[in-house]
Structure 1
Amino acid sequence: MKWVFYVIVFIYMFYRAVYGLKSIQKETRGLSIEPIDYGWDKHYYSAGTRKSIICKGTNKNQKVEWVNPSGNVVQRVATNRVFAQEHFLPTYQSRVPAMVLIFSHANVEDTGVWECRSGDVKKSVSLCVIEPSQFLDTPTEVTVDRGRSITLSCQAKGEPEPRLLWHRNGEIITEDLNPSKYQVMTKYNSQGFEGLLTITSLEPEDSGVYNCEAIQESPRIDDCMASVSVNISLQVNYAPMFADGNDTALVPGKENESVDLVCASDAHPTPTYRWFKEDGDILTEFAKEDIKLLDNGEKAVLTLVANETTFGQRYRCRASNQYGEFDKMFAILKLERPRKPNEVSLENSTYNALNFEVKWYGEIFFPVEEVLIQYMDLKSFIKKRVGTPREMDWKTAGEALLKVDGYDAVNTESAGLKVTLPELVEKTEYWVRIRASNEAGDSPWSEPILASTIDRPEVEAKMEIVEKSQDDPEAATASEISDGTFYGIFFAGGILVVAIGCMFAMRLV
């Protein structure tokens, strides 16, 4: 009979295990809230839109309800602006309850933490609703005359109340940035908040795009914010002016080839251009068809043939608008190769570079496009011979070719340019010579001079060691290991000598 008893016990335990587990499952309660999708470019719902949030249970018998940020249960009254609506969603086993929170007309006051609960089980979700700012009565283009002051204005209305910031070139404009130039103020009027930016003593460089940004931040939850902005283009009116003032522009030209005289002034509005040939006090104007306008009329080009009739001749470009006019002088020079430098002097030296000034005496009428520097270590030269290096000695010299930007033909009593010979060895003396080049050819070499680099400053040496250790830790470690190895071997050798000496002394005893 024992086996009958065992069978009954087994059947009972199996029944309790299966149906007891089902009863536990029936009593299990869980909640899940579908994530809020504001959209890929937003972090909030705009006020006035219709939205819904679904909270699902896990047991068909559980009761689910929504609680607003104030702690009140949301009623199931469809006529309310915010209400709850019950649904049952099918699953693979049965139907589960779902409570849908519906905002028929979302309001900024809805921002906060909403809670879905079923008994002691709770889930919460943060909701952000913003009425985005709108700019009212904000001009996007402003024009003002040079020397005057202007107040840029932008008015923004939204909820939460926006705060206004001014930007230019990615930088926030504050009175601390330049108190004598900018004044920033915000005031409230019937249209909303108004941001005012006053710019005093306007100059051409004040022209550009100014950005007014309206930032809204909700005090109810973190990260609930919005930002919109408007660009205001400011244009300063001013008379024509040239970057190099009224200095005569000397334009080199190859004989019997065309040369362009390019007249381009800074001005607003865009000026009109006239070209004249100057013959003493007499000005002869060129016809309009002889002048080519480029870049939407911002440049006026006069093309002439460089020859004996135009070399040295002066031409006048006149740029004018309603705010004034300005004349710019041009002269065509025969393009010749540079002369031999009259003087090359060392201005200063560092531990790895030499800075020279190259001079030509008297009037010069040639441009310099490149400078070639040859140099050789004095010690390596002395091993061969003494005295000044000969031409054959320079065949193995180092070279540095330097481009000269913006060095145009000049006409002064003493003209020159500054060049730097880089990447040298510290505390080393060099023979150096220089020649200048342009499209017409190369100048003869200058007379060679001696120049020396200096010791590297201790601070820079330490900084370089630190930088090398950061860039290549293994190299720095190897250096440290090599120093440590040297002293370790030296110490170990000393101990070995002492030990041998002691052994020798003991044998003698």
Structure 2
Amino acid sequence: MCKLSCNLGVMQWATVVILFSLVCSVTLAEENDGTPSLRVLARSSVYNAGEKKAIYCKGQNLQQSLEWYSPSGEPVEGRSTKNTRVYVERQKNDTLLPLIIHSIKVEDSGNWTCKSGDLNETIEILVGEKVNISNRYESFEGEEGKSARLNCEAKGKPQPVVQWYKDIEVISDKSKKYVVRKKGDNYQLEIKDLNHQDTGEYVCKVTQNALRYYTDKRVQLTVQHKPILFNSDTEEIYSSTYRTEEVYAILNETKNISCSAIAHPTPTFSWSRRHENEFDEPIEDEEKVLTSPSGNVSVLVLRMHDENLYGEYKCTAKNPKGQASVVFHVTEGNKPNPPDHVSVYASNVSTITFNVTCSTCNMDFEEDKAPDPANLVVNGYSFELVPVRADYPPQWDEALFFDADILSPNDTLFTVGELPNSTTFHARVRTRNAAGHSEWVDIISSNIKTTSNAIKLFASFTVLFASLLAIGCN
């Protein structure tokens, strides 16, 4: 079968070679039969402005010399001191005449014709000018409630196609939010009624298909706006500038309350506690109020050593554009029960999966049900792992810490990592609810360890080898 296919292939190639030889023979015969002929050795093309071009015209058996004519109909002269950009270079053999164009210009676009007596051939030259954006990266600061106008000057020929994007999404000027106006060579994007969501990168993409050319301009827009409250854990953004939250704490334990707000300029936070009907007790102790490095989160640290610390606390985020406040109602909640079963389920080179259950914990996940402060729903487990050192107890203050959320009452498997490979660990776990954590439970097992890279590589090699073997057999 293979031999037959190979013979057919050879026969097909032989046929092609014979046909090609016949065509060449006929062509040569036509060129050498004494008949005058003329042809331009180039096709109609698009050139970039500034390039140097040499376009040849070839004649055969001509009675008159070859001549090139510009789009205006004027003959192209030879090179001289006054004519150094567009000229012809005559050869000793008058059968070939090159047209030389230095630093080709947009004005050179048109039909260029090579003639000899009554014989002539014309090609069309289109000269394009690439768009050159002088400042491709800009920053722009707008103000909430006002409009921003971003410019993209894209001068070029042929006229470019311009499209604006926000991040990676196409901007449509059919939306009432955006308007794209063309003013001369400027493709201006107007963004109306600015808000915090308009902050981001805007890209003006410019394409000249005829020149196979692309460029762009990027504008980083920042919007000055008043503080907007959000949840730093879920990243949920709240539309109101004043809200209340229920917070549960456990007596004799520390409760951290987070107050988060996005704003530009960065907000300042202030905390106060309600006495009677007014929040008239400011909290300014640096050990009780902490601010994140980003400046968008403030944490109130309550050390609940006294029942009198339960009550209402107010956080206010403020900048020159406005302010937003949240009131936290701090009440007593129950301390969750610890897990009653923990085991190692699986492990690999960088993670360990634990099987954890708590039969005495509240796992009632009904969304519409009001929380019971005396029996709060368990929302997850916290793990700590520290590498085993021979003859040393675990150093829990150096442990790796992981939180795992319970998404369903049936969830029992929880994976923690990234962990170092080929390592054996001490591990412990505790439950957590909205109020705090249970006591730690040590995980007693000799299998709390990650595998080695060598095992992983060997397994990968085995799979690869099996795949190659299967391909070879097929």
Q: SS at the partner of 2:107?
A: helix
Question: Could you tell me which residue of structure 2 aligns to residue 504 of structure 1?
Answer: none
Q: 1:273 aligns with which of 265, 269, 274?
A: 269
Question: Could you tell me which residue of structure 2 aligns to residue 433 of structure 1?
Answer: none
Q: 1:232 aligns with which of 213, 216, 219?
A: 219
Q: Give the TM-score taking structure 1 as reference length.
A: 0.48
- Please state which structure has a larger fraction of its residues in helix: 1
Q: 2:87 aligns with which of 83, 88, 105?
A: 83
2:279 aligned with 1:294: no
Q: 1:211 aligns with which of 203, 208, 218?
A: 203
Contact 1:135–1:157, Cα closer than 8 Å, also in 2: no
The Cα of 1:320 is off from its aligned counterpart by: 0.8
Contact 2:332–2:373, Cα closer than 8 Å, also in 1: no
User: Per the alignment, do residues 274 and 53 of structure 1 end up closer, same or farther by CA in structure 2, a change over 3 Å counting?
Assistant: farther
Give the residue type in structure 2 aligned to 1:208. G
1:312-323 aligned at under 5 Å gives the runs 312-323=310-321
1:337-356 aligned at under 5 Å gives the runs 337=336, 340=362
The Cα of 1:193 is off from its aligned counterpart by: 3.2
Question: Could you tell me which residue of structure 2 aligns to residue 104 of structure 1?
Answer: 102
Deviations 1:472-502 (CA, angstroms, capped at 9, x unpaired): xxxxxxxxxxxxxxxxxxxxxxxxxxxxxxx
The Cα of 1:283 is off from its aligned counterpart by: 1.4
Q: Which moved more, 1:357-366 or 1:147-156?
A: 357-366
1:19-168 aligned at under 5 Å gives the runs 27=32, 45=48, 47=49, 49-53=50-54, 55=56, 74-78=76-80, 79-86=83-90, 100-111=98-109, 128-134=127-133, 140-161=138-159, 165-168=163-166
User: Per the alignment, do residues 125 and 195 of structure 1 end up closer, same or farther by CA in structure 2, a change over 3 Å counting?
Assistant: closer
Give the residue type in structure 2 aligned to 1:230. K
Give the residue type in structure 1 aligned to 2:225. Y
Contact 2:161–2:206, Cα closer than 8 Å, also in 1: yes
Contact 2:86–2:102, Cα closer than 8 Å, also in 1: yes
Give the residue type in structure 2 aligned to 1:234. L
Give the residue type in structure 2 aligned to 1:369. N
Q: SS at the partner of 1:205?
A: helix
Question: Could you tell me which residue of structure 2 aligns to residue 193 of structure 1?
Answer: 185
Contact 1:311–1:334, Cα closer than 8 Å, also in 2: no
Contact 2:144–2:225, Cα closer than 8 Å, also in 1: yes
The Cα of 1:212 is off from its aligned counterpart by: 3.9
The Cα of 1:152 is off from its aligned counterpart by: 4.1
Give the residue type in structure 1 aligned to 2:52. K
- How many Å separate the matches in 2 of 1:170 and 1:115? 47
Q: SS at the partner of 1:177?
A: coil
The Cα of 1:265 is off from its aligned counterpart by: 0.3
Give the residue type in structure 2 aligned to 1:237. Q
User: Per the alignment, do residues 362 and 292 of structure 1 end up closer, same or farther by CA in structure 2, a change over 3 Å counting?
Assistant: closer
- How many Å separate the matches in 1 of 2:191 and 2:295? 30
Q: Which moved more, 1:115-124 or 1:314-323?
A: 115-124
Q: SS at the partner of 1:184?
A: strand
- How many Å separate the matches in 2 of 1:361 and 1:164? 55
- How many Å separate the matches in 1 of 2:90 and 2:290? 78
The Cα of 1:284 is off from its aligned counterpart by: 3.0
- How many Å separate the matches in 2 of 1:367 and 1:85? 92
- How many Å separate the matches in 2 of 1:209 and 1:131? 24
Give the residue type in structure 1 aligned to 2:198. D
2:180 aligned with 1:184: yes
2:383 aligned with 1:369: no
Question: Could you tell me which residue of structure 1 aligns to residue 326 of structure 2?
Answer: 328
The Cα of 1:361 is off from its aligned counterpart by: 6.7
Question: Could you tell me which residue of structure 2 aligns to residue 264 of structure 1?
Answer: 260
- How many Å separate the matches in 2 of 1:343 and 1:155? 57
User: Per the alignment, do residues 262 and 80 of structure 1 end up closer, same or farther by CA in structure 2, a change over 3 Å counting?
Assistant: same
Deviations 1:417-455 (CA, angstroms, capped at 9, x unpaired): x9999xxxxxxxxxxxxxxx746579xxxxxxxxxxxxx
The Cα of 1:322 is off from its aligned counterpart by: 0.9
Give the residue type in structure 1 aligned to 2:228. M
Identity of aligned residues (%): 24
Q: 1:285 aligns with which of 283, 286, 305?
A: 283
- How many Å separate the matches in 1 of 2:299 and 2:113? 74
The Cα of 1:314 is off from its aligned counterpart by: 3.8
User: Per the alignment, do residues 24 and 165 of structure 1 end up closer, same or farther by CA in structure 2, a change over 3 Å counting?
Assistant: closer
User: Per the alignment, do residues 403 and 86 of structure 1 end up closer, same or farther by CA in structure 2, a change over 3 Å counting?
Assistant: farther
- How many Å separate the matches in 2 of 1:266 and 1:260? 20
Contact 2:137–2:218, Cα closer than 8 Å, also in 1: no
- How many Å separate the matches in 2 of 1:289 and 1:117? 93
The Cα of 1:368 is off from its aligned counterpart by: 4.2
Contact 1:275–1:318, Cα closer than 8 Å, also in 2: yes
The Cα of 1:321 is off from its aligned counterpart by: 0.7
The Cα of 1:291 is off from its aligned counterpart by: 4.0
Q: Which moved more, 1:76-85 or 1:52-61?
A: 52-61
**Equivalences, count:** 327
Contact 1:250–1:333, Cα closer than 8 Å, also in 2: no
User: Per the alignment, do residues 438 and 121 of structure 1 end up closer, same or farther by CA in structure 2, a change over 3 Å counting?
Assistant: farther
- How many Å separate the matches in 2 of 1:343 and 1:154? 53
User: Per the alignment, do residues 171 and 116 of structure 1 end up closer, same or farther by CA in structure 2, a change over 3 Å counting?
Assistant: farther
Q: SS at the partner of 2:129?
A: strand
- How many Å separate the matches in 1 of 2:372 and 2:363? 11
Q: Give the TM-score taking structure 2 as reference length.
A: 0.51
- How many Å separate the matches in 1 of 2:121 and 2:365? 89
- How many Å separate the matches in 2 of 1:365 and 1:36? 83
The Cα of 1:108 is off from its aligned counterpart by: 1.1
Q: SS at the partner of 2:197?
A: helix
Please identify the structure whose Cα radius of gyration is greater.
1
Q: SS at the partner of 1:369?
A: strand
Give the residue type in structure 1 aligned to 2:219. I
The Cα of 1:107 is off from its aligned counterpart by: 0.8
User: Per the alignment, do residues 87 and 298 of structure 1 end up closer, same or farther by CA in structure 2, a change over 3 Å counting?
Assistant: farther
The Cα of 1:271 is off from its aligned counterpart by: 0.8
Give the residue type in structure 2 aligned to 1:299. V
- How many Å separate the matches in 2 of 1:335 and 1:57? 97
- How many Å separate the matches in 2 of 1:172 and 1:113? 39
